[in-house]
A and B are shown apart, each in its own frame.
Chain A
Amino acid sequence: MRLAALPAVVGHSITPVAAAVVDRELGQPWGFRVTGWAVAALLAMALPGNVGAAEVPPAEKELTPASVGQLRLAFTFRTHHPGPATQAPLADGKTLFLLTPFPHTLYALDLATPDATVRWRYTPEADGTARGRSCCGEGQGGMSLEGGRLYVNTLDGRTLALDAANGAPAWEVRTADPSSGESLASAPLPAGGKLLLGNAGDRFGVRGWIAALDAGTGRRLWRLHSTGEDAEVGIGAGFRPLYPGDDRADRGVASWPPSAWQQGGGGVSGPILWDAGSGLVFHGTGHPAPLVPDQRQGDNRWTSGLFARELETGRARWFDPLNSHDLYGLGATASSLLLDRDWRGAPRRLLVHPDANGHVYVLDRGTGEILSAEPFVPVNATAGVDLATGALRRDESKAVRRGRMTRDICPASPGAVTGASAFLPETGLLYIPSRRLCMDMEARNANYIRGTGFTGANLRLRPADGEGQGALVGWDLEAGRPAWTVPERFPLSGGVLATGGLVVYGTLDGVLKALDARSGAVLWQFQAASGILSRPVAFRGPDGHAQLAVLAGSGDGPEAEIDRRDASAEDGMGNVLRDLPRSPDPGVTLYMFRLP
């Protein structure tokens, strides 16, 4: 499995097989991309480690626009795990941790050894049911590293802590119940001795929550929901309502038809942020369930908005309903950034949130006040944000009603951005991996059966007008408009890494790109053997050289069993990904690059 360790003769013997695989699975016509795939597949399977290490002239050890051209593939690590690799690897200088898609295996690779031997591995117990709960490249659990401990969320609802040094489990608790459709989609956040995590499962009518565990023992300290009565949501004396109406009691019940909040969604499936200075945590809540709006008349608090909560008790401080009565199943769980910088002349403590609805929100994270909201992709479902009320100005012709088809809604579910954005203070630009998609949406009756989809909508996605289905947007935060955009053929699903004047990201068709952070010019690219859904990471290796790692694996191999003749496949992505060639290498592979 680790090709770096294989003798070259094996590599040669594999070559024709690999070529045959490429031949058979990619179909015609043979374009540049296919050739790229083929080369990458061969590289992945056949190349020995440390490619060309000897030939590269000595150069700087930092990853910069000047040095990026010298990046060389150090080694690849094939896991053979199929599925979408959404969790970026973690590195602590000596060790690189990687979490495979569900059913998970956790690897710790020793970066000190030239061929990165596996230091330890850990395979948590897996409940296969969870496999049917994740779709279309959504997050499948995650991990974080803090104080020598590795905290892991598994897709099937376990949270566990391991010793990062040897993989010894410290504790494991059951936090979500996959039989109801519930899962854990993102990494837990260690914060002040606590571990914060939230559930996912909006499409199954799972009621969303965020919980805090004792990082030492795994004991649950508090858990608060996204719907229901104020006590269950954590709304009390400390809550400062931003807009009229939200000061009334039990909005999490009253803004729903009777009982509907019980299957109301609003999962906390995205990343959670902690501001140690103010002791606040910030998280988005997912879209309300079901997708068909007629079955959930009202504002549907507290779904599809941004919460600020106190870390200690979880009590809500403020809530910004970004997509009140979310018509299109967008949710507000896209990742945010906490920035302390000047805003329009005055220093502010900001929270910057590129939302699924296609707008970059700039908030004062102390009060929740929206300072600015500007669109970064083509948007036609709304005409901007009313800063006084925080509400979107909706276009009535794009309203969704049961039994009707609404055509050409931009942006499309699950939103204009799903991966993590990045910010570079030196450029003042926010780098947003965007999806330029529109959709036709047909709302139909949603029937609640526990553990089955509770959506009530048929989606058929299609590219927005203009070039490409995705784009990397270099967003000028101050000006509130793009400085530049780099169009991509396929929607961007993974996160962006911004480091040292570079922006690095991977695409669904498996290209890892490094751009100049100022101009957006492509400086370097690499064709991987599978699509990339995760964020690349950069770190300094044990030898002091900059290293770049990315986990490829789009879950798009034959085992995905997706038939894209059906436009509604993969929540409507089937319609736009028809041209996406299937990965020749269905397994998750780590690509490690380094500067010589």
Chain B
Amino acid sequence: MSAFLLRCVLPLLLLAGCSGWQSALDPRADAAQELHGLFWLFTITCGIVWAVVMLVLAGALLRRPAAARPEEERGRAERRSGRVVGGAVAATVLVIAGLTLASFFATRGISADHPEALVVRLRGFQWWWEVTYDDPSPNWVFITANELHLPLGRPVRLELAAADVIHSFWVPNLAGKQDMIPGRDNVLAFTPTQAGTYRAQCAEFCGLQHAHMALQVVVETPEEFGRWRATQVAAAAAPESAEEVAGRAVLEGKACAACHTVRGTAAAGTLGPDLTHVGGRRNIAAGMLPTTRGAMAAWIADPQTIKPGNNMPMVPLSADELQAVSAYLVRLR
């Protein structure tokens, strides 16, 4: 049943999200809504100002002043213009002051920190995201990658860090961006107000594959979130078919294990994304490919063609090994 749901409903969800699943114009959290309101305030104000200036300019151009005017009349026109310009400057000051105040209050509205917030630690890597769910009891702390699940309506506090260069975490639908800077701690706080799947993308140039550094944010009901969390804490599912058993052997015996962790197996590398539940994630390769067996095999077979310059090497595997390991990995839900 759930498999059916996943297979049929998910693509629909994705399609529905197409219009704006990475858009600042489609706010789905309190912070983004605040910014959305501010955006329209600024846009409308600025639009009016621009239109007025253009109209006056047009008037100045289309006006046909008398060819020769007496000196005193010209003087009067000059003085009148002076007053108009002075008034316009004063109006500018007022508008600017108003907008400054509006953005000041918007900042205050957003940066409220909640004591009961869900704490998630995010680390940016070249070119993927590590996600660590914090918990008071350490054996409920778990690590996943490139996918962030958040419970609907609960304040969340994202602690942002960088593992190598500067990255910037940005889910336009949920909040404004915040940089991840080596040697510094940054925090992003918001409360998701609508369930759905959103896309985050690195917004600070971070090298070769800056373009392919995305993260899925899944906002779901607290119940769904709780179930998901329980799944994530568990170790990887045991392989069932012979092919999957062979796949695990490949994972443990080949270069995979030197970089990736699959909890419950001998693979405990920490250089690449944690693969314990990779099959349950929507995408692989930081948002580049869907998690299907074919895409998984394609990615393992030739990561450097799909995402040139990324740190996953092209590991020589036989066709059988490739089949087996991709079959095993997509089953790790």
Contact = CB atoms under 8 A, between A and B. Distances in A.
- By size class, the interface of chain A is 20 to 34
Contacts of B2: none
Interface string B179-221: 0001100000000000000000000000000000000000000
Nearest to B272: A447
A94 B245 CA distance: 61
Given A403-B182, A445-B163, A450-B266, A257 B142 contact: yes
B312 interface: no
A222 to B, nearest CB: 26
A258 B142 contact: yes
Nearest to B130: A445
Interface in B112-168: 137-139, 141-143, 161-163
Contacts of A256: 138-139
Contacts of B268: 259, 262-263, 448
B259 interface: yes
B121 to A, nearest CB: 9
A76 to B, nearest CB: 48
A370 B204 CA distance: 53
A259 B235 contact: yes
Contacts of A257: 138-139, 141-143
Given A448-B270, A449-B269, A450-B266, A297 B163 contact: no
B282 interface: no
A298 interface: yes
Secondary structure type dominating chain A contacts: loop
Contacts of B258: 447, 449
A447 to B, nearest CB: 5
A296 B141 CA distance: 10
Nearest to A250: B139
Secondary structure type dominating chain B contacts: mixed
Nearest to B270: A447
Contacts of B177: none
A450 B253 CA distance: 11
A253 B140 CA distance: 11
Given A445-B163, A447-B259, A258 B233 contact: yes
Contact of A403 (B163, B259, B263, B269): B163
B139 A298 contact: yes
A144 interface: no
A393 to B, nearest CB: 21
B204 to A, nearest CB: 17
B139 A295 contact: no
B142 A404 contact: no
A447 B138 contact: no
Contacts of A263: 268
A262 B265 CA distance: 11
Contacts of B161: 403
Contacts of B139: 253-258, 298
Given A254-B137, A298-B139, A404 B183 contact: yes
A448 B143 CA distance: 15
B264 interface: yes
Most buried by B among A255, A297, A450: A297
B271 interface: yes
Most buried by B among A258, A446, A450: A258
B141 A297 contact: yes
Nearest to B121: A294
Contacts of B263: 258-259
B105 to A, nearest CB: 34
A42 B139 CA distance: 60
Contacts of B259: 447
Interface string A379-414: 000000000000000000000000110000000000
Contacts of A450: 266
Contacts of A403: 161-163, 182-183
A255 B138 CA distance: 6
Contact of A446 (B233, B266, B270): B270
B284 to A, nearest CB: 21
A418 B110 CA distance: 53
Contacts of B142: 257-258
B36 to A, nearest CB: 34
Contact of A297 (B138, B235, B271): B138
Contact of B270 (A258, A295, A298, A404): A295
Contacts of B162: 403
Given A257-B139, A448-B269, 13 more contacts: A256-B139, A257-B141, A258-B142, A258-B233, A259-B268, A262-B268, A298-B138, A403-B163, A403-B182, A447-B259, A448-B270, A449-B269, A450-B266
19 contacts: A257-B141, A257-B142, A258-B235, A258-B263, A259-B235, A259-B261, A259-B263, A259-B264, A296-B138, A298-B138, A298-B141, A299-B138, A403-B162, A403-B182, A403-B183, A404-B183, A448-B268, A448-B269, A449-B257
Give the 6 A-B residue pairs with the shortest CB-CB distance, closest first.
Answer: A298-B138, A448-B268, A259-B263, A297-B138, A257-B141, A447-B270
Interface of B: 137-139, 141-143, 161-163, 182-183, 233, 235, 257-259, 261, 263-264, 266, 268-271
Interface of A: 253-259, 262-263, 295-299, 403-404, 445-450
